[in-house]
């Protein structure tokens, strides 16, 4: 075990540290008919104001767990609490950023970004004023009247992020949000997201297949086992993020944590 990554197999360690959890997952399992187990007895706490990444081999239930927390999918067993309240479906305290953007093709950027506020019945001028602020924060000022088909993949993903931020949810749930863009755009998105979250002070639950991305963006990483997904390890990279992106990616703690997770995942493939 690396001294550069604080790893524990027992959530009791985290609970004992007095962490303020915004999301709690208690005994969650998900079974599909006839005999497929996607998740088995998941117990997790997600610290308030931090980014937690769900990481694991393909098919381990990362997105399934994320959708259960979002209230988009019902668990077979167990409970999920947000701000201490048991959830029974989607709620305004959670916002989902989809992998495939999920934008309305017939609506322009400002309408897409403000759509959640429209559903809440907010007057048009007020919701458009709020939407413009978030459009500016994701560097899309000037594209308010454009339609999704007129935007690049990276720009469409920025619209999705602005829409999630616009509703001022406590928790952002992000399902591989950068997987559809090229590597250069992906790295820029990672840095932009971290900078934006420092200002917004949101709690984020993030799904990715990329070990490097998980270590770079995360305060906490949940490593799931192959299906049925179970919590295998909790990892806190403890990386000094005061340097540049290149300095962070050359940091020994970053490299050691990436390597350690890779060895763990490689064992699953053998």
pLDDT mean by block of 10 residues, the chain; 270 residues: 39 49 95 86 94 92 95 95 93 85 90 92 94 92 95 88 89 85 81 83 91 93 93 89 82 91 79
- What percent of the chain shows pLDDT beyond 70? 91
Place of tokens 């770079």: 216
Assess if residue 1 is contained within a domain: no
* Shared-domain flag, residues 147 and 254: no
Q: Which of 176, 222, 237, 208 is nearest to 42 (CA)?
A: 222
Report the predicted TM-score, pTM, of the whole model to 2 decimal places: 0.85
Query: In CATH, what number is assigned to the domain containing residue 70?
Result: 3.40.50.300
Rounded to 5°, the CA angle 83-120-62 comes to: 45
* Shared-domain flag, residues 111 and 17: no
Specify the pLDDT at position 220. 94
Specify the pLDDT at position 6. 39
Length of the chain: 270
* Shared-domain flag, residues 28 and 156: no
Specify the pLDDT at position 12. 38
Q: Which of 3, 2, 1, 7 is nearest to 235 (CA)?
A: 7
Specify the pLDDT at position 270. 58
Specify the pLDDT at position 180. 67
* Shared-domain flag, residues 184 and 161: no
Domain that holds residue 159: 102-168
Residue 159, CB-side half-sphere exposure with 13 Å CA sphere: 30
* Shared-domain flag, residues 161 and 179: no
Listed residues 126, 141, 168: the one ending a domain: 168
Is 266 in a helix, a strand, or coil? helix
Place of tokens 């050691």: 256
């Amino acid at each position: 075990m690396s001294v550069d990554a604080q790893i524990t197999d027992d959530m009791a360690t985290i609970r004992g540290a007095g962490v303020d959890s915004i999301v709690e997952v208690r005994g969650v399992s998900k079974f599909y008919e006839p005999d497929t187990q996607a998740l088995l007895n998941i117990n997790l706490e997600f610290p308030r104001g931090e980014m937690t990444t769900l990481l694991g081999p393909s098919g381990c239930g990362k997105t399934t767990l994320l959708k259960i927390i979002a209230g988009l999918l019902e668990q077979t067993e167990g409970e999920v609490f947000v701000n201490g309240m048991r959830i029974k479906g989607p709620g305004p305290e959670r916002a989902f950023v989809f992998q495939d953007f999920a934008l309305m093709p017939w609506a322009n950027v400002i309408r897409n970004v403000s759509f959640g506020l429209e559903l809440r019945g907010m007057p048009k001028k007020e919701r458009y004023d709020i939407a413009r602020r978030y459009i500016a924060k994701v560097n899309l000022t000037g594209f308010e009247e454009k339609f999704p088909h007129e935007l690049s993949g990276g720009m469409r993903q920025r619209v999705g992020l602005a829409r999630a931020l616009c509703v001022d949810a406590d928790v952002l749930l992000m399902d591989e949000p950068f997987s559809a863009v090229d590597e250069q755009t992906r790295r820029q998105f990672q840095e932009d997201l971290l900078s934006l979250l420092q200002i917004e002070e949101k709690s984020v639950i993030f799904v990715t297949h990329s070990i490097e991305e998980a270590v770079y963006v995360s305060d906490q990483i949940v490593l799931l086992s192959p299906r049925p997904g179970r919590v295998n390890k909790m990892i806190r990279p403890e990386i000094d993020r005061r340097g540049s992106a290149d300095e962070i990616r050359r940091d020994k703690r970053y490299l050691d944590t990436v390597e350690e997770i890779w060895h763990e995942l490689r064992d699953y493939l053998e």
